[in-house]
Chains A and B, each alone.
Chain A
Amino acid sequence: AQSVTQPDIHITVSEGASLELRCNYSYGATPYLFWYVQSPGQGLQLLLKYFSGDTLVQGIKGFEAEFKRSQSSFNLRKPSVHWSDAAEYFCAVVGSGNTGKLIFGQGTTLQVKP
């Protein structure tokens, strides 16, 4: 069965420091992967997606993610974190069966220290 794991439930980084949020997936075929960000009390905003092609994808707000098939990973990175990046981050994969259902990881809460 497909699954997504975000090993880090909570991460704290200092403002200006680099960030990497981990995401591992379990999927038999070529995965379609997404990263979303959720601010408290709000919906999800798409940061970036990977469907095919270049394994390093650029997203909004200075985020990027790299798809590594050999490691079944799709880690999210940002070179310099801003205080406004504090939020919940979700990694997701489209499930099988061509339905478009998203399978979410548990989420990672990012806290940014001044």
Chain B
Amino acid sequence: GAVVSQHPSWVICKSGTSVKIECRSLDFQATTMFWYRQFPKQSLMLMATSNEGSKATYEQGVEKDKFLINHASLTLSTLTVTSAHPEDSSFYICSARENIGQGNSGNTIYFGEGSWLTVV
């Protein structure tokens, strides 16, 4: 199947600094990517939908100024956690929708390996 790669897999940063996580679709183009946050032993919480060439759509309760999303190309979306605090420590996962033909609902969605963020 298609491959989505996230980098870095692990990152530790100091409180107050910013950290960027990259999400790449390696062998397909993705006009839409999604960013999730997952707490231990819980399901995934959708943070935002990243659209290539336009602004991201954030879910209710997600601070867009804190979680900056950029989708500059058809294969790359980035999530920047600005002024990180310990409560931002979490597992962040991206996914990418494979564009195949007409319509969108039936397209397969592939996930990255996830990125562990620890803010100290």
CA distance A34 to B32 in the complex (A): 18
Q: Which residues of B have CB within 8 Å of A98?
A: 103-105
> Do A43 and B43 touch (CB < 8 A)?
no
* A interface, CB within 8 angstroms of B: 32, 34, 36, 41-46, 49, 51-52, 90, 94, 98-102, 104-107, 109
Nearest CB on A from B31, distance (A): 9
CA distance A42 to B6 in the complex (A): 11
> Do B110 and A94 touch (CB < 8 A)?
no
Q: Which residues of A have CB within 8 Å of B104?
A: 98-100
Asked, given contacts A99-B104, A100-B97, A107-B43, whether A46 binds B110 with beta carbons under 8 Å apart, the answer is yes
Size bin of chain B's contact surface:
20 to 34
Q: Which residues of A have CB within 8 Å of B111?
A: 36, 43-46
* B interface, CB within 8 angstroms of A: 1, 4, 6, 32, 34, 41-44, 46, 49, 91, 93, 95, 97, 103-114, 116
Asked, given contacts A32-B106, A99-B32, whether A42 binds B43 with beta carbons under 8 Å apart, the answer is no
CA distance A100 to B46 in the complex (A): 12
> Do B6 and A101 touch (CB < 8 A)?
no
